[in-house]
Chain A
Amino acid sequence: EAQVTQNPRYLITVTGKKLTVTCSQNMNHEYMSWYRQDPGLGLRQIYYSMNVEVTDKGDVPEGYKVSRKEKRNFPLILESPSPNQTSLYFCASSLGQVYSPLHFGNGTRLTVT
């Protein structure tokens, strides 16, 4: 089954403790991206990747890191999480250019205390 898999689904952590949210897709998609969803703000793009080893900042990249060493994987790294990063995170992938519809993962709800 074609899908985007995020792990974990829920995560509670403390301020400053490094964490990684994994994202994997099995559709051989070139494009992958991360979004955070906050009430009243919709989804905001954090980072995106056009292909292996090619990444760029979205609208809200501060406090996040990403890497794309393999085509299928695009982990989101929070080196020193803070409470303002408490949010619902979505990973997505698509065939290529922005006109391709996104396939989303099921989301990761992160709470930073």
Chain B
Amino acid sequence: AQKVTQAQTEISVVEKEDVTLDCVYETRDTTYYLFWYKQPPSGELVFLIRRNSFDEQNEISGRYSWNFQKSTSSFNFTITASQVVDSAVYFCALGWLGYKLSFGAGTTVTVRA
């Protein structure tokens, strides 16, 4: 069965601290896609990044970085020098079979000024 686990329910940090969000997935498929979405307090869901199962190259985008490791089935997300605007719920998701998508339970990040 396909499954996404975000073990951290809530993380609270002070501004400028780094924060890493863990995501562990389970799948038997060899072709799959991993995503991170952000849900700020306003409620909308925003796409952040996508990775396919054949691309383990890590990525940095501004203060955001992602570490994909197939050996440990993990796709972790780090916010460097966090800001109050980073406060949100972050969801990791796994896509497979072309059209199905499973989300993790989400991690609520609170950045205090």
Contact = CB atoms under 8 A, between A and B. Distances in A.
Interface of A: 31, 33, 35, 40-45, 48, 50, 56, 58-59, 88, 90, 92, 97-99, 101-104, 106-107
A42 B105 contact: yes
Interface of B: 4, 6, 9, 33, 35, 37, 43-47, 50, 52, 91, 93, 95-106
A97 B4 CA distance: 19
Contact of A48 (B44, B99, B102): B99
The secondary-structure label for the interface of chain B is: strand
Given A42-B104, A48-B101, A98-B96, 4 more contacts: A31-B99, A48-B99, A102-B47, A102-B101
B50 A104 contact: no
A107 B4 CA distance: 22
Nearest to A31: B99
Contact of A97 (B9, B44, B93, B99): B99
